[in-house]
Amino acid sequence: MPRFITVLLSVFLLVAGGWTAFLEARLFFESGTTDQARFDRLEQIGPIAGLSAGSKKIALIDCNRSLASFYGTFQPPVRRQAVFSNCREFARKVAERNPSDGLAWHILAETSAGLDDFQGLNEYLLLSAAVTAHEAWIADARVTLALKNYSHLTPESKNAVAEDIATLGLEDDGAIRLARIYMASDGNKKIISDTMEELPPAIQRRFIRNLRKTQLQQTG
C-alpha cells in the first residue's frame, strides 16, 4: 500500500509539474510577436500568464506596451476600451494576490485613466508609488502617465509625481528619461520646471546637463 501511494504521489507531481510548465510556455506561444497580434489577443481574451511572478510581470508589461504602441494608439476607442478593461481585470487579480506589486498597481492606474475613472487613477497611482517608492524603473512610467492626466490628479497624487521626478533626477539615466518626458510637450515642461525649482541644486544641475545633451542629440 505505501508503494502504491508513493507511485500515485509521483504521478501527481509529474502531472502538476507538466501543467505548470504548459502554463508558463503558453504565454510565449500565444502572446504574439507583433504589436497587432498582441493588441488583438488582449482585446479578445486578455492577458495570458502562468503561475510564476515573472510571467505575470511579462503579461503586465504586454498591456502597457500594446496600448502605447503605434498600432494600439490608433485603434478605435471601442477596441482600446476592451483592452483597458481586460488588462485592468488582470492587474486587479495580480495586485490582490501580491499587494507589493507596484507594476500591477501602475497598470491599474493606467487602465483606469483610459476608462475615464480618475478616482481609480489617483488611488492606484498612490498605491504604486507607495510600494515602489524611489525606484526609477517605474517612476518614469508613473510620471508619463501622471503628466498626461495632470488636471485630474489630487494634491496627494501631484506630490507623489514630484517624488518620482526627484527620483529620476538622482541618476544620469533617470535624468535622461526625464529630459525626454520634458521635451514631449509644453505642458510637461511647465510641470517639470515648477517641480525642479523645489528640488536640491544637485538634481537641478544633473537634469539641466542631461536635458542639454538630449536636445543636442535630437537636433544633431
Average pLDDT over residues 159-169: 95
Residue type at 30?
E
In the chain, where the domains are located: 1-98, 135-220
What is the tens place of the pLDDT at every residue in 53-93? 889 999 999 999 999 999 999 999 999 999 999 999 999 99
Please check the confidence at residue 207 and state whether its pLDDT lies above 60.
yes
Which pLDDT does position 32 carry in this prediction? 60
pLDDT band at 33 (very low <50, low <70, confident <90, very high): confident
Please check the confidence at residue 156 and state whether its pLDDT lies above 70.
yes
Which pLDDT does position 10 carry in this prediction? 53
Which pLDDT does position 50 carry in this prediction? 73
Round the CA-based radius of gyration of the chain to a whole number and report it.
21
Specify the pTM.
0.82
Which pLDDT does position 54 carry in this prediction? 86
Please check the confidence at residue 216 and state whether its pLDDT lies above 80.
yes
Q: What are the grid coordinates assigned to 211, written together? A: 536635458
Cα-based distances in Å from 76 to 80, 81, 82, 117: 6, 9, 10, 19
Residues contacting residue 149 through CB under 8 Å, at least 6 positions apart: 113, 118, 121
Please check the confidence at residue 14 and state whether its pLDDT lies above 70.
no
Highest mean pLDDT among 19-28, 118-127, 196-205: 118-127
CA angle 90, 146, 194 (to 5 degrees): 165
